[in-house]
C-alpha cells in the first residue's frame, strides 16, 4: 500500500494512504463468490508481495485474510490486492550471510491466534 503523507501531533500519528474500495479479503469473501480465475489472481498477487518482502529481507509474520485489501485497477478494472499491517514484521539477514556462531532464529510467537500453524504451537 502506498503511503502518501505522515502527520504527527502530541498524541497520535496520522497516515494518509491509498484507498482500497473493496475492503479486506475476509469481509469480501463473506459477500462475494470468487471465480477460480479471480482466486488465482489473488493468490498470485499475495505471493508476489511476499516474494518482494523477502527480497528486501522482511518477514511479514501475520498474513491473514484481514491483512489483504481488495481493490481494482482504475484503468483496467482488474482485481488488485494489497498486503497490509506490517506491525509484527521483522527484518532478517539471509542465512548464507550469517556467521555460524551468531546464527539467530526468529522464535517469538507473533501473529493472530486463529491463524497460527499447529506446528508453531507444539514447538
Q: Please give the positions annotated as active site.
A: 62
Q: Determine the Cα–Cα distance for residues 1 and 20; give it in Å rounded to an integer.
A: 9
CA-CA-CA-CA torsion sign (41, 109, 56, 73): positive
> How would DSSP label each residue in 38-91?
HHHHHHHHHHHHHHHHHHTTEE-----GGGEEEEE-TTT--EEEEE---TT-EE
Amino acid at each position: 500500500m502506498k503511503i502518501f503523507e505522515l502527520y504527527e501531533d502530541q498524541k497520535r500519528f496520522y497516515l494518509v494512504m491509498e484507498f482500497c474500495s473493496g475492503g479486506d479479503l475476509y469481509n469480501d469473501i463473506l459477500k462475494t463468490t470468487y471465480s477460480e480465475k479471480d482466486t488465482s489472481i489473488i493468490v498470485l498477487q499475495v505471493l508476489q508481495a511476499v516474494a518482494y518482502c523477502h527480497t528486501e529481507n522482511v518477514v511479514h509474520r501475520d498474513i491473514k485474510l484481514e491483512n489483504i485489501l481488495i481493490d481494482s485497477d482504475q484503468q483496467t478494472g482488474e482485481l488488485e490486492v494489497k498486503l497490509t499491517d506490517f506491525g509484527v514484521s521483522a527484518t532478517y539477514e539471509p542465512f548464507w550471510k550469517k556467521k555460524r556462531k551468531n546464527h539467530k532464529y526468529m522464535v517469538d510467537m507473533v501473529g493472530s491466534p486463529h491463524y497460527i500453524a499447529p506446528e508453531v504451537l507444539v514447538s
